[in-house]
Structure 1
Amino acid sequence: MHEQEADVARMWLAIDALDFARMKAKLLHRRDGQWTPETVARAEASYRQFLKLAAQYPDTAIVPNEEVDQFWHAHILDTRRYADDCERIFGFVLHHNPYVGIDGADDEARLFELASATGALMERTFGAGAQAQAAAYCAVTPGAQAQPAYCAIAPGAQAAQPAYCAVTPSQGQGGEVSRTRH
């Protein structure tokens, strides 16, 4: 047990040491106005927490909120760096499954269950403030022009900007962690 705790502590230190300066500069360089210094800082902090959960709970499906998912995508796009970072931290590449939640009502319900469990784990591991950063999980009805059919907003979250959205398969977003050892 102590060895496992030491391994997790080592992984957390490695996660804290990750340098995302270039990645953050790339996100801020985008012209869509989505990323500001504040959103980048929040996404970076939450992404580090997401990685720490993946390290501490390797057999648990961890679902990132949308902001974290986009930050994760930016990390993944630097393929060599992402692979090297994952190998150094986890000993394997942390794979992304972007299709969870898009294959009908049962799969979408599974997404909400995983998201809820991730939020609870986030709060238990990092405190009540982390749950607010996990923010909202929304479902969009087909043809609804991105108007949520149901939206659960965590306390302190901005209702106008849900942190996670599950949409119809043709617009699919979403993700969960899967792991492959190499």
Structure 2
Amino acid sequence: MINEDFKLIFQKIDSYDFFKVTTKYQSAHKASSEQVSQVLCELKKWLALCAANPGKKYHIGSHVDDMWHVFILFTKDYSDFCDKCIGFFLHHEPNISEETTPINENNDELFSDYEKHFLKKPPTTIWPRYHAMPGEGGNPRPCHCIYMPR
């Protein structure tokens, strides 16, 4: 990680208790403990990027999006997390377009910022470069976060 402000943001997020989220995610997605740990690590990174760059819309899909959806369902915990760790409420805004968009058309900024802060490329097992077409698995319509002051 490059700058100290970003390190502090990530440390706050990393120290948050995600027990409820990981327990529900593991049950709902029949994931192994190792898979849950890997997805949680990437969710934390994505949340840190969103917190550090509130003007950007980082599209997500796949496993990270699935775990974020689980987190959002714990509304009180999610609101508390946003207040304490991010500093603003990170809203969910699903893509309502019927078109499937390759990730690289709308996510180059996410991957670039990820590499800048974490000094490596995101793992393709968690962050596929392209979304699957409908019927092929995956999430063909990514969601993204938006900053909206309360």
TM-score normalised by structure 2 residue count = 0.82
Indicate yes or no: 2:113 matched with 1:121: yes
Measure how far apart 1:6 and its partner are. Answer: 5.8
Given that 2:58 and 2:145 are in contact with CA atoms closer than 8 Å, whether structure 1 keeps it comes out as: yes
Q: For residues 16-35 of structure 1, what are the structure 2 equivalents within 5 Å?
A: 16-30=14-28, 33=30, 35=31
Deviation at 1:112, TM superposition (A): 4.2
1:165 corresponds to 2:139: yes
Q: Secondary structure at the match of 2:131?
A: strand
Q: How does 1:130-149 map to 2 (within 5 A)?
A: 130-132=122-124, 133-140=126-133, 146-147=135-136
- Contact 1:119 1:134 (C-alpha < 8 Å) held by counterparts: no
Secondary structure, counterpart of 2:90 in structure 1: strand
CA shift in 2, pair 1:130/1:139, >3 Å: closer
Q: What's 1:73 paired with? A: 69
Tell me the residue number matched to 1:82.
78
Partner of 2:147: 179
Q: Aligned to 1:134, what secondary structure does the other structure show?
A: coil
Any gaps of 5 or more consecutive residues in structure 1?
148-161, 167-172
Note if contact 1:54-1:62 (Cα within 8 Å) is conserved in structure 2: yes
Higher RCO (Cα < 8 Å, 6 or more apart): 2
Q: Which amino acid aligns with 2:39?
A: A
Of structures 1 and 2, the larger Rg is shown by 1
**Number of equivalent positions:** 147
Say which structure is richer in strand.
Answer: 1
Q: CA deviation at 1:140?
A: 1.6
The gaps in structure 2 that reach 5 residues or longer are none
Is contact 2:88–2:148 with CA below 8 Å preserved after alignment?
yes
> Partners of 1:36 and 1:134 in 2: how far apart?
18
Post-superposition offset of 1:99 = 1.5
TM-score (norm 1): 0.69
Taking the TM superposition and a 5 Å limit, the aligned residue runs for 1:35-46 are: 35-46=31-42
1:14 aligns with 2:17: no
Deviations 1:62-101 (A, max 9, x none): 122310001101110000000011011222210011125x
Letter in 1 for 2:139: C
Looking at structure 1, the residues matched to 62 and 14 of structure 2 have their Cα atoms a distance apart, in angstroms, of 21
